[in-house]
Structure formats: structure tokens, C-alpha cells
Amino acid sequence: MDQVNLDGASNPFQYLFVPTIPDMPLDEEWLNQLATPNVNLAARANTLQLAQDEGLKVFSAHEPQAAAEFLLKNGFVVLIDVLTGTALQKMQQVSGELVQEVVRKRPEGSRGDQRWTMGMTTDHVQYGQACLEPASNIFLCDVLAHFWNSTKFTLLCSGGDFSLPGAGMQNMHADLPQRDKIHEVFCYPRYIEATTPPTLKVYFALADLNEETGPPVFVPGSHLRYAYCNVPQADPEGSKRAFCPAGSAIVMDLRIWHHGTPNRSQLARPMTSLHYAAPWYNEAVLTKASPYWMYHRGSVSREQLLQMPQRLRQLCCNLVYQQCQQCNCPADINKPSEGWYKWSWYCESCNDEWRKSHTSESSSRTFSQRKPNDTPYAKRLLLICIGIALFKNIRRTTIAPSFRCILHYISRKQRSSAAP
């Protein structure tokens, strides 16, 4: 079979992040293709032919608007050649390391036999930032800009899934709660019925998705039926297998019905993922914490954010704290990185006030050792008074003056100094 080495391959897209290939030895036989910097042209052509035979339309970089329209109508779209060259090679090797790490922790599988989730890779100490790098891909961002009619979308988080040889058929599902329980996640149920969804998931295929490795199956248009139809057990007529070569991106509406298929190959089939939020998305619609609908704030440090290229920085702006934890004033991402404490950010004014208010004894401690608005004594006093009031069942008119006194004390305590 024809082989081509990617070291000298030209990249049709202008990647904003120049990847560095780490040295990652992959010992397992089923991970070999993730460590090899070669692509099989014949296998690629065969995978694209499978997509054509399936009646699946795939899109390339010169047709982002058509891809966005297809996504809006069908609930998913396949984009080819999103990751190429060293960018693809790096993500393959990173996914190989993540696969090994996850399998070692949970050898029994976390999503059925021989199926795992990679978890929240946004927070991964070693590979978290590498998993974010594909987010600013020009082709992908063009499609999302056409879809939401704006360039002001941002990242929520990153993750991924993978199957190993022997994985079986997955049940049909949507990446949301059952429709009769949607009120447990959102403030009002009709929020999820919007024609244009508030979030999108993007899977990056890091191995050829063919008949052996097992492509995901999607039911076109089912995202518009999620609100009033139960998810079927069998594949409805018109279901499509998303055949695509390594380096492709599958963009999907979380409401669409889909499932994984058996992995009959001798290879791992990893897919890393990114979750994007629409420009108008707001976490206030959530009734409870939901990791794939919340910004993973604190997963990116201010130093990391300032080192990113401009477009990637814009996309990741909500992965750092965006306001002062004490006065709630907005944080400008172009400001210096002083004023941080354990992933919380404090504006220069609050930080300076805290420093000046210290006594000579406490001022010798560094900012990283103590928190500006840490007033445990005041908080403890407040809790004690509340407990006494509740225990004695004191009338509200009696409690109110006490609360005013306590709140005044806390305010004065914050202005004067921070307790150790």
C-alpha cells in the first residue's frame, strides 16, 4: 500500500499553534497507528468511498457555509482534513497517552465493554492545553461562524471517547437527559427546542472510521424531534454511518440520536472532543451543575492564556476567571498576571488594598499564601449567630438588627485586613 510521510506534508490551513511532538512511547499493539507518523492513502480513499456509498455528504475547507447549513438541517456534519500534518500527529500521540492512562485507571471500561470516556481533559495537567489547540482551526471556526452567524462563540470544555478492539454495539441515545427530565437541567424546558442549539460538540477522528474500527451512527434530523419523540431502540430508516478518514471533525448537535458501532479491528479508535458555546449562551439557564454545559473556569491559568495566539485566547477566555473574586469587576485578558491565588483572580485595586492593610507581622507572607477576602472569624461569627437564631426560633424582627451588625463587621474586617 502507498505510504506518505507527514514530516514534509504541506498543511492547507494556517494553524495558529505550532505543535511540538512529544516523545511518547506506545507499547500496546492496538496503539501503534497512533505513534506512527504515516498515513495510508489507499485506506483514506477507501474510507471516503465508504462515505459516498453510504450517501453521506462530507465537506472540505472551501465550503464552510454549505457545511453549516447541512449541520443546521441534519444535526451533524463531517468535515475532512481539519487536522493534518504535525497537528494530526500530535493529537494522535496525545490521545494514545490518554487511552493508556484511562485504561490503567478503569480497566473494566466506563461506557460499556471496551468503551471509555477520556473525562474532562480540559483539566489534565499534562495534556489539557494540547487538547485545546485544535479549537482555533480556521476551517472549523468558519463553519461555526456561519452556523451561529457570529465569531463570538467560545469554548466550554474538552473531552473525548474511545473504543478498543472487541467493543460492541452501543445503544441509541442523545447526549442529553431524557426529554421528560430535561427540566432537571434547564430552568425552562423549551430552551432546548431552539432551532439553533446553544452548544455544539466537535469530535476529532484520530483513526480512520471505517467498517472495521466502527464509525458512529447518526439519525439525520432527529435533533428536531428530541423534544417530543423518545429515542428509538433500533436504527430508524435513513440513519447514516459517519465514515471519515483520520483528521476529520464530526460536529454534532447534542440532541441528535446517535450511537457507536462495534470495533472489529485490532486498533484503538480514539476521538477527542471540544464543546463550543453559542455567543448568546448563558450558564444561568442551568438548574444544577452539568459539566458539559459549564465553562471549565480555572482549567487555564492566566499565564497560559496570555501565551496563546489571539484566536485561541478569544476562544478560551471563559476557561479562566473573568472577574475579581472580591469586587466582581471584569478582568481584562491583556492585563499582567499579578493578583492570582489558587486559580482565583483579584483586580489590582483589591490586591493593593489587601497588601497595604497588612500589619508588619503578616505582610511578610506572600500573596500565594493568603487570600485577600479570607475572613474566617467573621464567617464563623455569622454562622454561630444564625445557628442560635434558628435554635431559639427568634422572630425576624429580632434577627434583622443582629444581621446588620454582623454584615457591618464583615465589611469592616475585609477593608482593614485579612485574617490568616
Residue 418 pLDDT grade (very low, low, confident, very high; cuts 50, 70, 90):
very low
Instruction: Give the pLDDT confidence of 243-289 residue by residue, as tens digits.
Output: 999 999 999 999 999 999 999 998 899 999 999 999 999 888 888 87
Residue 35 pLDDT grade (very low, low, confident, very high; cuts 50, 70, 90):
low
Separation CA 285–CA 283 (nearest Å): 5
**Is the model's pLDDT at 38 over the cut of 60?**
yes
The reply to whether 308 and 388 lie within a common domain is: no
- Phi and psi at residue 44, to the nearest 5°: -65, -45
Q: Read out DSSP for 134-173?
A: GGG-HHHHHHHHHHHTSS--EEEEEEEEEE-TT--PPPPB
**Is the model's pLDDT at 3 over the cut of 60?**
no
Contact 274, 161 (CB under 8 A): no
**Is the model's pLDDT at 350 over the cut of 60?**
yes
3-class DSSP state for residue 272? strand
**Is the model's pLDDT at 50 over the cut of 90?**
yes
The reply to whether 384 and 314 lie within a common domain is: no
Residue 218: inside a domain: yes
The reply to whether 218 and 288 lie within a common domain is: yes
The reply to whether 294 and 396 lie within a common domain is: no
Tell me, what's the pLDDT at 18?
28
The reply to whether 66 and 172 lie within a common domain is: yes
The reply to whether 15 and 113 lie within a common domain is: yes
Residue 2 pLDDT grade (very low, low, confident, very high; cuts 50, 70, 90):
very low
Tell me, what's the pLDDT at 249?
98
What is the mean pLDDT of the segment spanning 304-319?
Answer: 92
Question: Which of 283, 299, 318 is the last residue in one of the domains?
Answer: 318
Separation CA 178–CA 257 (nearest Å): 12
The reply to whether 182 and 288 lie within a common domain is: yes
Residue 226: inside a domain: yes
Residue 330: inside a domain: no
3-class DSSP state for residue 277? strand
Tell me, what's the pLDDT at 123?
83
Instruction: Give the pLDDT confidence of 66-75 residue by residue, as tens digits.
Output: 999 999 999 9
Residue 86: inside a domain: yes
Residue 361: inside a domain: no
Selection from 152, 136, 148, 154 nearest residue 65 by Cα: 148
Tell me, what's the pLDDT at 21?
34
Instruction: Give the pLDDT confidence of 201-255 residue by residue, as tens digits.
Output: 999 999 999 999 999 999 999 999 988 889 999 999 999 999 999 999 999 999 9
Strand partners, 162: 116, 270
Q: Specify the higher pLDDT residue, 79 or 364.
A: 79
3-class DSSP state for residue 123? helix
DSSP code of residue 113: T
> Which residue segment(s) compose the domain that 89 sits in?
3-318
Separation CA 202–CA 292 (nearest Å): 12
- Phi and psi at residue 89, to the nearest 5°: -60, -45
**Is the model's pLDDT at 45 over the cut of 80?**
yes
DSSP code of residue 131: H
Q: Rounded to two decimals, what is the model's pTM?
A: 0.74
Tell me, what's the pLDDT at 408?
54
Residue 367: inside a domain: no
**Is the model's pLDDT at 140 over the cut of 60?**
yes
Contact 386, 380 (CB under 8 A): no
Which H or E element spans position 404? Answer: helix 396-416
Residue 165: inside a domain: yes
Question: Which of 293, 318, 343 is the last residue in one of the domains?
Answer: 318
All three cell numbers of 414, joined, read 475585609
Instruction: Give the pLDDT confidence of 367-396 residue by residue, as tens digits.
Output: 334 444 444 445 555 666 666 666 555 444
Radius of gyration for the alpha carbons in the chain, expressed in angstroms and rounded:
25
Residue 368: inside a domain: no
Instruction: Give the pLDDT confidence of 82-124 residue by residue, as tens digits.
Output: 999 999 999 999 999 999 899 888 887 777 778 999 988 998 8
Mean pLDDT over each residue of the chain, to the nearest integer? 78
Half-sphere exposure for 294 (CA within 13 Å, toward CB) = 15
Q: How far is CA 202 from CA 76, 156, 157, 254, 276, in A?
A: 9, 12, 11, 10, 8
What is the mean pLDDT of the segment spanning 126-140?
Answer: 95
Tell me, what's the pLDDT at 389?
62
The reply to whether 39 and 110 lie within a common domain is: yes
Instruction: Give the pLDDT confidence of 146-186 residue by residue, as tens digits.
Output: 999 999 999 999 999 999 998 999 999 999 888 888 888 88
Separation CA 280–CA 63 (nearest Å): 25
The reply to whether 297 and 397 lie within a common domain is: no
Residue 193 CB contacts under 8 Å (≥ 6 apart), including other chains: 227
Q: How far is CA 26 from CA 22, 53, 410, in A?
A: 12, 34, 56
Question: Which of 297, 318, 339 is the last residue in one of the domains?
Answer: 318
Selection from 171, 76, 89, 162 nearest residue 121 by Cα: 162
The reply to whether 62 and 183 lie within a common domain is: yes
The reply to whether 312 and 386 lie within a common domain is: no
Which H or E element spans position 270? Answer: strand 269-277
Domain count, the chain: 2
Tell me, what's the pLDDT at 410?
57
